[in-house]
Amino acid sequence: MKSERLMPRQRHLSWSTALQGLRADRAQVPAGFLGARGRIEVAARLGKVVLVKADGSFNRAGIMAAAAAAAKEHQRVYGSTWVAAMSVALKACWQAARTTRAKVAH
């Protein structure tokens, strides 16, 4: 009987570990996101699309054109619906545009 271990009366909880687990569950990268972002960044580097204007504002027409092209490729590769492909492509495109604007600003 003495060999049985008793459960501690208090449980210790690490809040930082718990919150990291919650954030990891929320922040999932959708399938094809990195590929779409790579395509958009290459297109911007090659000058096929302009994501940020010279004055530092976003080029919304360029962002939409780049997202549409990336969505077509995403749809071809993954066979997803147009809505899902545009969602992934627009998220990737806006992320690339924000990164580009931050690089230009510094």
Can you give the pTM of this predicted structure?
0.70
Tell me the two tokens of residue 33: 């996101």
Q: What is the pLDDT of residue 97?
A: 94
> What is the C-alpha separation between 73 and 89, in angstroms, rounded?
10
Q: What is the pLDDT of residues 19-51, one digit of tens each?
A: 887 777 776 778 888 899 999 999 999 989 999
The closest of 62, 88, 92, 94 to 76, measured between CA atoms, is 88
Summarize the confidence of residues 78-103 as an average pLDDT. 92
Q: Are 98 and 55 in contact (CB under 8 A)?
A: no
Please tell me the distance from the alpha carbon of residue 54 to that of residue 57, in angstroms, as a whole number: 7
Sign of CA dihedral 13, 25, 35, 55: negative
Q: Where are the domains of the chain?
A: 31-105
Confidence of residue 15 (pLDDT cuts 50, 70, 90): confident
